[in-house]
A and B are shown apart, each in its own frame.
Chain A
Amino acid sequence: MPFVPLTDAERRAMLERIGVRSVDDLFTLIPEPLRYPTIDLPPGEPELAAARAVQQLAARNRPASALACFLGAGVYHHYIPSAVGALASRGEFLTSYTPYQAEVSQGTLQVTFEFQSLVCELFAMEVANAGMYDGATALAEAVLMAERITHRSRVVLAGSVHPEYRAVVETYVAPRGTELVVGAVERGDTALHEQDVGDLLDERTACCVVQQPTFFGTIHDWRALRAACDRTGALLVMVCNPIALGLLRPPGDWGADIAVGEGQPLGIAMSYGGPWIGLMATRERYVRQLPGRLVGATRDVRGRRGYVLTLQAREQHIRREKATSNICTSEALLALQAAIYLSLLGPRGLRQVAESCYQYAHYAAAAIAQLPGYAVLTPEPFFHEFVVRCPVPPSELNRQLLAAGILGGLPLGRFYPALADCMLLCCTEMNTREEIDRLVAALAAARRETA
């Protein structure tokens, strides 16, 4: 069912009006041997059959919501208040497009303006854009932006920036000959040690990228790094978790020049990888270097307040090869979801979610640290994630946890070979004390499988 409403009679009337005998006559420019190829796909299904087939695929998965979830690492299992989905699924939001005609898009435009404002408040930064695809591409674009501003091509990344974010940055800078320097991460017996990236900066450095909390969960004081950036003229780029910012000092306070983050924790489903939204904010003086859409407030011909896309001369549809980015469609619906989430929670609610994450993680870490054979390697202070050294290979451990209905942490060997015996555990407000006790008990009972 292709949702085509034309009846045969209408088709005939239209063909006659156009002056052709059949629709085929409208495709004559396509070389005949290539026209109407055989497409080896089954015929179309009615909704009932298609839905059943897709539901069967969904049923073959075991989602985090059906387990006690302790898996994080950049994507988080948080509670999504029901009002988020109810509002975001309204057809007026869902089926409109980029608000080029402002008079009939004030809904989308004001939501985006509010989203920009909320990100500014959360990050304590002066200006935020309408969103990028995700946190990783937002970081890649931030690096490109820093290179444009400073006219430098050396970039320093802390080793504790999410490894997949680093991989995306590498892809984006590959055509530019950027020198990418990554700080070292070492593991001691009892703690991870990170190289101070301030030591890696020089006058050729466009920016320094750090993450708060780090990939390993640690919270840092960035004052010394800000000073190192001041000395060398490098920009400070911070990757932040927006839930953590319900509690932690925001990037603006640390003097970040550009702040990015993944908006998924703000009322957006994990959905096996997306869609999500990249948060991006900067200082007002750099606004013309910011990629992505910007919505501004203005007045109409009668002096009434309204919102419009503005500063579009930066963007691809005007500036073309000199644009700040090629981005066109971004993540407007997810910006709406994040704005609704933040509106529902407010400052107290967001802080409570953050504190719950913090308290559950500390309760779990304290208990696990007592278990023989285990060690918590993430030094204090940490937020809601921590690295655990395990006496059983982490993947094997996770299989045993799964049998107890627990989704264990991320085995870190795939990103950090020196941490092959470690996993990254995460707690959020979705966990309960009972789940954590069960996790600890299962870890205690874990046995190394004999080969």
Chain B
Amino acid sequence: MTPDDRRYSVEHEWAKVEGDEVVVGITDFAQSQLGDVVYVELPKVGDRVEQMKVMGVIESVKAASDLFSPVSGEVVAVNDAVIDAPQKINESPYEEGWLIRVRPERLDELNNLLSAAEYERHISGQGTTG
């Protein structure tokens, strides 16, 4: 089930508010589409990210996808654990497989994202072709 404690982008990233930071990751649908993640390229602490702009890349054996930041702001933390063990993204996309933490510029940007229910409708329309 899609956790309803966070918002979603059409590009399959999630954004969860925790205090004055936003945690970012990819959805379960995204990780299952990708297959076993072999590599992830993330921004560095201190970099600025922008909503719906490319912030990195995630790779499986057979695919490579751009990662789009769901919010604008400054990167305050990067999950080194997934860089060393990218399988965490497959195993726990919503918890241990988080990617970055961002200090958001404008929290109201989250209104541009989808709710859990809206995201579920979005992916059911997508079918199973990548």
A-to-B contact residues, CB < 8 Å: 288, 312-314, 318-319, 322
- Name B38's closest neighbour in chain A (CB-CB): A313
A318 x B39 contact (CB < 8 A): no
Can you name 16 A-B pairs with beta carbons within 8 Å? A288-B39, A288-B41, A312-B61, A313-B39, A313-B59, A313-B60, A313-B61, A313-B62, A313-B64, A314-B64, A318-B62, A318-B63, A318-B64, A319-B64, A322-B64, A322-B66
Separation of A399 and B60 alpha carbons in the complex (Å): 60
Separation of A313 and B38 alpha carbons in the complex (Å): 10
Separation of A314 and B38 alpha carbons in the complex (Å): 12
Identify the interface centre among A313, A314, A319, A322: most chain B CB within 10 Å of its CB.
Answer: A313
- Name B63's closest neighbour in chain A (CB-CB): A318
Chain B residues in 8 Å Cβ range of A314: 64
Chain A residues in 8 Å Cβ range of B39: 288, 313
Separation of A314 and B61 alpha carbons in the complex (Å): 10
Chain A residues in 8 Å Cβ range of B66: 322
B-to-A contact residues, CB < 8 Å: 38-39, 41, 59-64, 66
Chain A nearest Cβ from B104, distance in angstroms: 26
Q: A313-B62, A313-B64, A322-B64 are in contact. List 13 more A-B contacts (CB 8 A).
A: A288-B41, A312-B61, A312-B62, A313-B38, A313-B39, A313-B59, A313-B61, A313-B63, A318-B62, A318-B63, A318-B64, A319-B64, A322-B66
The 3 closest A-B pairs by CB, nearest first: A313-B64, A313-B59, A319-B64
Chain A nearest Cβ from B35, distance in angstroms: 11
Chain B residues in 8 Å Cβ range of A322: 64, 66
Chain B residues in 8 Å Cβ range of A318: 62-64
Chain A nearest Cβ from B55, distance in angstroms: 14
Chain B residues in 8 Å Cβ range of A312: 61-62
Chain A residues in 8 Å Cβ range of B64: 313-314, 318-319, 322
Chain A residues in 8 Å Cβ range of B41: 288
Chain B nearest Cβ from A442, distance in angstroms: 60
- Name B60's closest neighbour in chain A (CB-CB): A313
Chain A residues in 8 Å Cβ range of B63: 313, 318
Chain B residues in 8 Å Cβ range of A313: 38-39, 59-64
Chain B residues in 8 Å Cβ range of A288: 39, 41
- Name A319's closest neighbour in chain B (CB-CB): B64
- Name A318's closest neighbour in chain B (CB-CB): B64
Separation of A318 and B41 alpha carbons in the complex (Å): 16
Chain A residues in 8 Å Cβ range of B38: 313
Separation of A288 and B56 alpha carbons in the complex (Å): 13
Chain B nearest Cβ from A126, distance in angstroms: 17
Separation of A312 and B62 alpha carbons in the complex (Å): 7
Separation of A314 and B64 alpha carbons in the complex (Å): 8
Chain B nearest Cβ from A103, distance in angstroms: 16
Chain B nearest Cβ from A34, distance in angstroms: 35
Chain A nearest Cβ from B87, distance in angstroms: 16
Chain B nearest Cβ from A299, distance in angstroms: 15
- Name B66's closest neighbour in chain A (CB-CB): A322
Separation of A288 and B60 alpha carbons in the complex (Å): 13
- Name B54's closest neighbour in chain A (CB-CB): A322
Chain B residues in 8 Å Cβ range of A319: 64
Separation of A62 and B66 alpha carbons in the complex (Å): 55
Separation of A312 and B66 alpha carbons in the complex (Å): 15
Separation of A319 and B41 alpha carbons in the complex (Å): 14
Separation of A134 and B74 alpha carbons in the complex (Å): 44
- Name B65's closest neighbour in chain A (CB-CB): A313
Separation of A288 and B58 alpha carbons in the complex (Å): 12
Separation of A231 and B30 alpha carbons in the complex (Å): 43
Chain A nearest Cβ from B89, distance in angstroms: 15
Chain B nearest Cβ from A131, distance in angstroms: 22
Chain B nearest Cβ from A127, distance in angstroms: 15
Chain A nearest Cβ from B64, distance in angstroms: 4
Chain A residues in 8 Å Cβ range of B59: 313
Separation of A285 and B114 alpha carbons in the complex (Å): 37
Separation of A318 and B60 alpha carbons in the complex (Å): 10
- Name A323's closest neighbour in chain B (CB-CB): B64
- Name A288's closest neighbour in chain B (CB-CB): B39
Separation of A312 and B39 alpha carbons in the complex (Å): 12
Separation of A314 and B57 alpha carbons in the complex (Å): 11
Chain A residues in 8 Å Cβ range of B62: 312-313, 318
Chain A nearest Cβ from B40, distance in angstroms: 11
Chain B nearest Cβ from A289, distance in angstroms: 11
Separation of A281 and B42 alpha carbons in the complex (Å): 25
Chain A nearest Cβ from B129, distance in angstroms: 16
Chain B nearest Cβ from A35, distance in angstroms: 36
Chain B nearest Cβ from A284, distance in angstroms: 14
Separation of A312 and B38 alpha carbons in the complex (Å): 11
Chain A nearest Cβ from B66, distance in angstroms: 8
Chain A residues in 8 Å Cβ range of B61: 312-313
Separation of A319 and B59 alpha carbons in the complex (Å): 10
Separation of A312 and B63 alpha carbons in the complex (Å): 8
